[in-house]
């Protein structure tokens, strides 16, 4: 299956759709949520990623939770959410794509 067809198939995956919906809602609402609620929602995403073998989603959601706990509102929440959205649509079987995304995230936060 080529990458275009893989993306089309994932578009109809209920887990990917749920993650995308949750990330979009968090992106829309995080400015008005308590830090505890942001961390709780990030942890929910981490658990979903863990339960469904979406390692990059799991790692990024955990990193968001850690950043909010450590840095509070100074955390770059929108960048984590953008990366989570990308991770949700990446092929979990493609370890190289996962590592590339994690490296890009590291560069994004180092800037």
* Residues contacting 88, CB < 8 A, separation 6+: 16, 19, 20, 23, 54, 57
Tokens representing 91 are 């092929």
Q: Greater confidence, 9 or 33? A: 33
Name the band, by pLDDT with cuts 50, 70 and 90, for residue 89.
Answer: confident
* Residues contacting 99, CB < 8 A, separation 6+: none
pLDDT of 49 > 90? The answer is yes
pTM equals 0.80
pLDDT of 6 > 50? The answer is no
Structurally, the chain folds into a number of domains equal to: 1
The whole-number pLDDT of residue 44 equals 98
Residue 24: domain span: 3-110
């Amino acid at each position: 299956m080529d990458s275009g067809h893989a993306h089309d198939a994932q578009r109809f995956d209920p887990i990917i759709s749920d993650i995308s919906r949750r990330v979009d809602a968090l992106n829309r609402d995080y400015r008005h949520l308590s830090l505890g609620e942001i961390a709780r929602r990030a942890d929910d995403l981490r658990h979903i990623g863990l339960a469904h073998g979406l390692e990059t989603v799991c790692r990024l959601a955990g990193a968001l939770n850690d950043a909010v706990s450590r840095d509070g509102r100074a955390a770059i929440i929108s960048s984590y959410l953008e990366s989570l959205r990308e991770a949700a649509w990446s092929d979990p079987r493609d370890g190289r794509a996962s590592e590339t995304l994690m490296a890009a995230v590291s560069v994004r936060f180092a800037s």
